[in-house]
Amino acid sequence: MSDIIIGIDLGTTNSEVAIVENGKVTVISEAGKKILPSFVGIDDKGEILVGETARNQYLIYPERTIKSIKRLMGQDAQVVMAGHHYTPQEISAIILKRLKTIAEQYVGQAISKAVITVPAYFSDAQRQATHEAGQIAGLDVVRMINEPTAAALVYGASQGEAKRMLVYDLGGGTFDVSVVNVQDGVVEVLSSHGDNHLGGDDFDQQIINHIQDHIREQHGMDISEHSKAMARITRAAENAKLVLSDEPYAQIEEEYLLEHEGAPIHLTLELARSDYEEMIDDYINATMDAVHIALKGAKLTVSDIDEIILVGGSTRTPCIRERLLDEFGFEPHGEVDPDLCVAMGAATQAAMINGQQIDTVLVDVTPYTYGTSAMGYLDGEPYPYQFVPVIHKNSVLPARKSEAFMTFQDGQREVRVSIYQGEDPDALNNIEIGEFMIEDLRDVPAGNIITLTLDLDLNGMLHVSAREKATGLEKSITINNAISRFETEALSHAKQRIDGLFGQKAGDETFSKPDSAAVAEARKLIKKAESLFETVSAEDKEDMVDLIETIASGIEDGDDNALQEPVARLNDIIYYLES
Ligand code: AMP
């Protein structure tokens, strides 16, 4: 076999290494972690630290730790770490060397070749610096590919029909959006735009500011000078952000954060997703502006885009997906882990160079959106059945998402929860797959918060629970076969539509009503009459046929009363014929 070629995503915040083995792309983990934070440091004993350990010491010993070195690649700059000067290439090489070792430990042999990804906007100097970093790390960089190209490769760009994809990549510290054209397995970046200083770290900073304001209000002190407390707050802020990607509220709790005037300060704060979304709204708007600039750069419009690919950990933020859905009218792809997608693409490219067979990266995703209905707006008008998606189409399974809702009326003691599958903004145009009531709510003014949680497992079982936030009162149901049920119902809908085209009554066969006693009796009589046709005179047969026709139209109209007279007359004729 030819030499192993590893694929590396050398990111600003995080880096990963992947390989293709037996046709499958594997992102290699070390101690259970696939993500290596792009931090390099020197500890108090002079030992080199890479990844998590370096990241952990960053806030306390910034003079001994380097982060985001990618931003300096290609510049004639140096960084100082523990009193020594390093070039950006050298720091990047330390990260690459670590990734190389992780891969070598995994495969059990020496590795000397790599494909490394770089941002589409990287200049020649920046690419050259990345190449040099590879060399310093003992790696022959057989190819450098653009990050959006790598992402497109994972999403099947090398197979199938021509299409245009928008790659929306929001990581920890950078944002890039690219428009790519895919044809005959060739990925071409048509345009790229972004912001080198926009990402999840900015979102964290908003939460950090919010916590600092809270402590200032509560305790009258500024904690920005207390580096240990700030380190804890920074970590707590990021954790809260991650929780808010799945839940409507996050509890921020840090006991004994620091001492103030002889008393300990404990931090207890609740952050609502809606407040957090307001904090980051300007950033999201900026990314959307960049999307339009990239489209313009490619001389395309929203309607020219066939698929959207989400890359970068920050794209797990639900409002990003929602904004893209609003803007483009279809769900973006996120089924491949957005943190690992670029490394997987690098490995895919490496395997292509090596002539290895690669299976498509298949993951289980939900093919439908699941949500509920609520009072809202439809076409600008107030509407009681606005569809509110909770688990979006293309989400990786198992998926668990929560949303907060509020009671609508003062003293409202119960809420009817309806669960729908579908994508239509009008819930009534989607398919209702379950319904339940949550009762005995507190007697309080409108605005009582109910948290709805949808939990969809790999077997298509959907567990739904509604919980009154203030009391913990909870009601739940489980909907079996949530995924296949839809298929059955969708089939019956399709059948109704097609039947309609042929003038047949919708659902005639699937859901016909059982016969009434009168109709059952009439059908029996018709059969009996028809069995006598061969033995009766032409005159009697004519009378019988007339009566049968009258009875048949009575059955079709569902009018039992109209059956009485012709049935009695047909009975008489049969009685007379048989006697
Ligand atoms: P990347 O540079 O692509 O690895 O992305 C890292 C960024 O993604 C960091 O700012 C993380 O805090 C952020 N991130 C990771 N997971 C989530 C999540 N579930 N929700 C929101 N942001 C996330």
Within the chain, which residue ranges are assigned CATH 3.90.640.10? 157-335
Contacts for 32 with CB less than 8 Å, ≥ 6 apart? none
Q: What is the DSSP letter of 18?
A: E
Residues with CB under 6 A from ligand 1: 11, 13-14, 171-172, 199-201, 238, 241-242, 245, 312-314, 316-317, 339
- Strand, coil or helix: 264: strand
Please state the atom number of ligand 1 nearest to the C-alpha of residue 169.
3
Q: Name the residue with the closest Cα to ligand 1, atom 8.
A: 313
H or E element in which residue 50 lies: strand 48-50
Our answer to whether residue 147 is catalytic in this structure is yes
CATH class of 1-155+336-360: alpha beta
Question: What is the per-residue pLDDT for 492?
Answer: 57
Tokens of 553: 């139209």
**Phi, psi of 3, rounded to the nearest 5 degrees:** -60, 150
Within the chain, which residue ranges are assigned CATH 3.30.420.40? 1-155+336-360
Tokens of 295: 């489209």
CATH class of 157-335: alpha beta
Within the chain, which residue ranges are assigned CATH 2.60.34.10? 370-479
Report the CATH superfamily, name and number, of domain 370-479: Substrate Binding Domain Of DNAk; Chain A, domain 1 (2.60.34.10)
Q: Which of 314, 321, 337, 339 to mutate to test the pocket of ligand 1 (most atoms within 8 A of CB)?
A: 314
Strand-pairing partners, residue 455, are: 400, 463
Low-confidence ranges of the chain (pLDDT < 50): 362, 486, 491, 494-495, 497, 502-513
Tokens of 178: 């690219």
Our answer to whether residue 9 is catalytic in this structure is yes
